[in-house]
């Protein structure tokens, strides 16, 4: 299994001309505001100060790019990858113009990132399938972008309900064969499948 041994903040950007070079396999995190994207990045990198988190929705308004050095002891391989924290969607009744701006930003991102290997879509385990998430997943399918879904805040439901909740969510989101797993930042649990998923796609 890959481990993330070092992590750095590269830069924040909105406009494509300000993005850092697309030099390494890249993975982006998307989902409603406050779902736990920045928290998950910190968890995966074991670096609580890497991405800014907040109880107030709408914290991450820019694209934030991170560089990771990874190692896999099982086959002695190592390399670099990039993680991108995308601005959350749906945190307030935003104007049509704001939504349009967000959509344009996402289109630019998809158009520009040649090394984008996959997208991790986060959903709150306590919520039913959300139309905004369904739209996002549709977009990923249309663009042929590999993706998985992570249900966050698994500590908020009883463990016994986990399998059924994930099944319902998968069905509600129309996932088909795309994988879904649960994580908890509070319990630091559920990360292995994610390291695997990322590792498989980051390796040459």
Strands 147-152, 116-124: pairing is parallel
Least distance to ligand GTP, CB of residue 45, Å: 13
Contacts for 172 with CB less than 8 Å, ≥ 6 apart: 128, 129
Q: Which of 4, 24, 27, 53 binds ligand GTP (CB under 6 A)?
A: 53
Q: Which of residues 137-156 bind ligand GTP (CB under 6 A)?
A: 152-153, 155-156
Least distance to ligand GTP, CB of residue 178, Å: 20
Taken as a whole, the chain contains a residue count of 204
Q: Nearer to ligand GTP by C-beta: 59 or 117?
A: 59
User: Quick check: 37 binds ligand GTP (CB under 6 A)?
Assistant: yes
Q: With CA atoms as reference, report the closest residue to 69 among 2, 136, 140, 151.
A: 2
| Residue 147 interface partner, choices Mg ion, ligand GTP, none, CB cut-off 5-8 Å depending on type | none
Q: Nearer to ligand GTP by C-beta: 34 or 45?
A: 34
**Cα 133 to the center of its chain, rounded Å:** 12
Listed in order, strand segments (DSSP E) in the chain are 2-13, 26-31, 63-72, 77-85, 116-124, 147-152, 180-182
Instruction: Tell me which residues touch ligand GTP (CB under 6 A).
Output: 31, 33-39, 53-55, 57-60, 88, 152-153, 155-156, 184-186
């Amino acid at each position: 299994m890959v481990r993330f041994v070092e992590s750095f903040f590269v830069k924040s950007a909105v406009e494509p001309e300000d993005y850092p070079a697309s030099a390494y396999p890249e993975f982006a995190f998307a989902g409603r505001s406050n779902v736990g994207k920045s928290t998950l990045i910190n968890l995966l990198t074991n670096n609580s100060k890497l991405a800014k988190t907040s109880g107030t929705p709408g914290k991450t308004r820019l694209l934030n790019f991170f560089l990771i050095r990874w190692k896999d002891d099982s086959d002695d391989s190592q390399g670099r990858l990039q993680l991108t924290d995308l601005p959350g969607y749906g945190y307030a009744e935003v104007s049509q113009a704001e939504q349009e701006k967000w959509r344009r930003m996402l289109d630019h991102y998809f158009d520009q990132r040649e090394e984008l290997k996959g997208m991790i879509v986060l959903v709150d385990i306590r919520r039913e399938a959300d139309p905004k998430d369904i739209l996002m997943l549709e977009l990923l399918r249309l663009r042929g972008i590999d993706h998985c879904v992570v249900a966050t805040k698994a500590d908020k439901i009883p463990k016994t309900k986990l399998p059924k909740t994930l099944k319902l969510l998968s069905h509600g989101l129309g996932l088909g064969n795309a994988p879904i797993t649960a994580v908890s930042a509070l319990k630091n649990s559920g990360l292995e499948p994610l390291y695997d998923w990322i590792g498989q796609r980051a390796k040459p």
